[in-house]
C-alpha cells in the first residue's frame, strides 16, 4: 500500500491551491490529491465530451471575483496563472433579466466590484495549472473516498469496494461531504466517514468541527447543459452570463444562464437551476434529474425572449443532461479558522466553507488553501 506525507481529498480550487502553495514553499511532503471527478476543477470544473475532444463547457462556476488587495501569499500563488494567461479578466457582457423577460442592468453578485476573472481556455485550466508538476505529487482521479480510519499515527483511505487504498500521515478535506451528515442521504452511506474514523472524545477539537458542520447548509443546483449548435448571431453580441432578478428566479427557478462559445463557433448554454427542496436520495435522484431537465427546458423559450438568436437556437439544441451539484455553495455556519487544522488527529480543512473574506466564494476557497499550506509548512 502506498504511503504519503499528505493526502488531499478534492481537486477543486481549495485543494489545488493548497497543493500549489506547498510546492511554492518547497514543502518536503510527498502528496496525493484524490478526486471523485475525471479531472481537477471541483465546482469550477469544465465538461468535456468523449465524442468531441474540442468541446469544453464550464458547467459549474463560469468565473469568480477577486478582492483588492489580496494577501501577498495569495497573489504569489495566482501570479504565474496571470502571467501564463490561464487566469484572465473576463470583459464579456453580463446582463440581468426581470420576471417579464426584459433586460435590466446586472447588479449584486452578477456585478462584483473587482469584475470577473475566468480560466482560459476553460475554468478547469485554473486548477490544472495550480497542481504542481513534480515527482512529489501524485493525482488519483475518478476515485471517491468512502472509508476513513485513523490508527497507529496514520490515516487509511479506501474507496467503496476497498479495491483502492492508501495511507497518509496527514489528511486534508477540501470539501465537507466526508464530514457532513448529508452524505447519509446523498450517497446512502450508513455513517459519516470522518466521525467513524475518530470516535467522539478522542480529539475535542475535531469533535467541535463535526458538531459545527452538523448545522451547516449548502445550496443545491441542477445545471442543464445544452449544445445550441451554430447560432446565427455575432458571438461578440452574446452575453457571457444572464442573471435573473429575485422575482425572475422565483418565477422560473433559475439563478443564471451561461453562454460558452466553442472553438468551432458552436454555442454551449448552461442553465443554473435552483433546487425545489425535494428530499434527494440515491433512489430518487435519477427521476429528479429527468424532472429538472424537463422543467428547465420548458422555461427557456420564454426566458430567452430578450435574446432572439439564443431563443431560436433552442429549436435545434441538443441536451447534454443535468449535473447535480450536491456539494454546492455553503449558506451558513462557516467553519472558524482556528479549527482549520486539528493537530491531535492530523486532519485539516479548506474550502469556501471556511470562515473568512468571501465566505461561499471561489476567493474564500483559494485563501483557505493558501492559509492551510502556511500552517502545515510551519508545523513540518
Report pLDDT for 48: 86
Distance, CA of 369 to CA of 14 (rounded, Å)? 5
Distance, CA of 125 to CA of 380 (rounded, Å)? 30
Between the alpha carbon of residue 303 and those of residues 68, 80, 157, 254, 351, the distances in Å are 35, 40, 46, 10, 33
Look up cell 455556519; give the residue: 333
Can 2-81+125-217+332-379 and 93-118+220-325 be said to share one CATH topology?
A: no
Distance, CA of 108 to CA of 100 (rounded, Å)? 19
Q: Which residues of the chain have pLDDT under 70?
A: 1, 234-236, 326-327
Distance, CA of 377 to CA of 380 (rounded, Å)? 5
Instruction: Give me the phi and psi of 47, to 5 degrees please.
Output: -85, 130
Report pLDDT for 303: 96
Q: Which set of grid coordinates corresponds to residue 360?
A: 461561499
Q: Please tell me the CATH code under which domain 2-81+125-217+332-379 is placed.
A: 3.50.50.60
Look up cell 443554473; give the residue: 272
Distance, CA of 325 to CA of 93 (rounded, Å)? 25
CATH fold group of domain 93-118+220-325: Polyamine Oxidase; Chain A, domain 2 (3.90.660)
Look up cell 465546482; give the residue: 43
Report pLDDT for 325: 82
Q: Per-domain residue ranges for the chain? A: 2-81+125-217+332-379, 93-118+220-325
Q: Residues with Cβ < 8 Å from 211, sequence gap 6 or more?
A: none
Look up cell 468571501; give the residue: 358
Summarised one tens digit per residue, pLDDT across range 123-175 is 999 999 999 877 789 999 999 999 999 999 999 999 999 999 999 999 999 99
Closest CA to 141 of 15, 283, 286: 15
Report pLDDT for 234: 66
Distance, CA of 101 to CA of 378 (rounded, Å)? 54
The torsion region of residue 224 among left (phi > 0), alpha (psi -120 to 50) and beta comes to beta
Between the alpha carbon of residue 365 and those of residues 65, 86, 236, 349, the distances in Å are 12, 18, 31, 10
- Whether the model pTM is above 0.75: yes
Report pLDDT for 150: 97
Report pLDDT for 171: 98
Amino acid at each position: 500500500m502506498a504511503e504519503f506525507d499528505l493526502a488531499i481529498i478534492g481537486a477543486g480550487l481549495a485543494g489545488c491551491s493548497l497543493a500549489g502553495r506547498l510546492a511554492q514553499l518547497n514543502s518536503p511532503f510527498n502528496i496525493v490529491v484524490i478526486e471523485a471527478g475525471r479531472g481537477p476543477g471541483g465546482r469550477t470544473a469544465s465538461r468535456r465530451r468523449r465524442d468531441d475532444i474540442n468541446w469544453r463547457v464550464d458547467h459549474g462556476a463560469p468565473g469568480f471575483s477577486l478582492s483588492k488587495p489580496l494577501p501577498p501569499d495569495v497573489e504569489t500563488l495566482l501570479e504565474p496563472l496571470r502571467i501564463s494567461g490561464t487566469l484572465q479578466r473576463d470583459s464579456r457582457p453580463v446582463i440581468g433579466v426581470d420576471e417579464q423577460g426584459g433586460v435590466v442592468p446586472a447588479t449584486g453578485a452578477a456585478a462584483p466590484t473587482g469584475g470577473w476573472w475566468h480560466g482560459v481556455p476553460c475554468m478547469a485550466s485554473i486548477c490544472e495549472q495550480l497542481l504542481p508538476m513534480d515527482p512529489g505529487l501524485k493525482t488519483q482521479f475518478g476515485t471517491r473516498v468512502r472509508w476513513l480510519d485513523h490508527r497507529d499515527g496514520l490515516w487509511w483511505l479506501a474507496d467503496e469496494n476497498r479495491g483502492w487504498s492508501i495511507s497518509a500521515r496527514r489528511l486534508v478535506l477540501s470539501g465537507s461531504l466526508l464530514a457532513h451528515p448529508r452524505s447519509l442521504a446523498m450517497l446512502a452511506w450508513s455513517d459519516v466517514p470522518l466521525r467513524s474514523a475518530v470516535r467522539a472524545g478522542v480529539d475535542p477539537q475535531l469533535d467541535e468541527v463535526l458538531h459545527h458542520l452538523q448545522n451547516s447548509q449548502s445550496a443545491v443546483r441542477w445545471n442543464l447543459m445544452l449544445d445550441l449548435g451554430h447560432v446565427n448571431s455575432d458571438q461578440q453580441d452574446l452575453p457571457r452570463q444572464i442573471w435573473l432578478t429575485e422575482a425572475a428566479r422565483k418565477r422560473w427557478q433559475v439563478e443564471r444562464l451561461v453562454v460558452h462559445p466553442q472553438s468551432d463557433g458552436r454555442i454551449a448554454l448552461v442553465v443554473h437551476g435552483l433546487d425545489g427542496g425535494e428530499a434527494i436520495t440515491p433512489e430518487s435522484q435519477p427521476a429528479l434529474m429527468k424532472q429538472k431537465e424537463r422543467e428547465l427546458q420548458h422555461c427557456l423559450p420564454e426566458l430567452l425572449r430578450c435574446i432572439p438568436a439564443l431563443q431560436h437556437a433552442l429549436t435545434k439544441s441538443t441536451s447534454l443532461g443535468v449535473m447535480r451539484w450536491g456539494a454546492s455553495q455553503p449558506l451558513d455556519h462557516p467553519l472558524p479558522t482556528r479549527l482549520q487544522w486539528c493537530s491531535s488527529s492530523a486532519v485539516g480543512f479548506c474550502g469556501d466553507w471556511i470562515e473568512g473574506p468571501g465566505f461561499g466564494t471561489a476567493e474564500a476557497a483559494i485563501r483557505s488553501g493558501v492559509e492551510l499550506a502556511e500552517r502545515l509548512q510551519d508545523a513540518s
